[in-house]
Amino acid sequence: MRYYILFGPPGAGKGTHAGAIAAKYNLKHISTGELLRAEIAAGTPLGKQAEALIDAGNLVPDEVVERMIENAFDTIKGVDGFLLDGFPRTLPQAEVLDAILARRGEKVNGVISIMIPDSLVYERIAGRAQKEGRADDASPEIIAHRIQTYHAQTEPLKAYYRAAGNYYEVDGYPGTIEQNRDRVLALVEKIY
């Protein structure tokens, strides 16, 4: 099995490019948000636990998300690997992922970091909020907070994966979605 992580700030294009990467390399794209929604919809014990936490206005703790990821690794068949999107977001999550994979005799094969400047993060998130009617992303304060959270909590993973020798960057701008996708796929081809 191969394990890849899509990395980058909000609005970098992770979700936009994940499908093309997954299709080309027979990987299962795992978005933590979609995984949570699927577990809740299926009424699994993990889903019920997550739903109760969300309904109470709480964040789903790392342990629940980590168990969902491990469950996906255990149950999804017919793929050559996994493409993680939205996990890990913190150093402790990265360490847990390494431990999960080590128990399987596996490791993260590559971290594909899609790079865009903060000014473009604002532009893309605001545009997406307007286009998709996402009130949660519409305010400049919320966008600023998401960027700040990314820099404080998630960006430190760059050094962690660089030290592991499996961190790769690709520009997620300028150009069309197709041009950016071509750059991303060219990078994946190099490291696959």
Predicted local distance difference test score (pLDDT) of residue 170: 97
Neighbours of 25 (CB within 10 A): 17
Instruction: Identify whether the C-beta of residue 124 lies closer than 8 Å to the C-beta of residue 11.
Output: yes
CATH of the domain at 158: 3.40.50.300
How many independent structural domains does the chain possess? 1
Q: Determine the 3-state secondary structure of 22 from DSSP.
A: helix
Predicted local distance difference test score (pLDDT) of residue 135: 67
Per the listing, tokens 């960057």 go with: 169
Predicted local distance difference test score (pLDDT) of residue 1: 96
Predicted local distance difference test score (pLDDT) of residue 145: 86
pLDDT higher than threshold 90 for residue 188: yes
Mean pLDDT, residues 7-31 taken together: 94
Q: What gap in Å lies between CA 14 and CA 7, rounded to an integer?
A: 7
Mean pLDDT, residues 115-126 taken together: 92
Q: What gap in Å lies between CA 45 and CA 50, rounded to an integer?
A: 9
pLDDT digits (tens, 9 = 90+) for 23-41: 999 999 999 888 888 888 9
Predicted local distance difference test score (pLDDT) of residue 39: 87
Checking phi first, is residue 90 left (phi over 0); if not, alpha (psi -120 to 50) or beta?
beta
Percent with pLDDT over 70 in the chain: 97
pLDDT digits (tens, 9 = 90+) for 175-186: 999 999 999 999
Across 13-17, 82-86, 125-129, least confident range: 125-129
Q: Print the domain residue range for 187.
A: 2-191
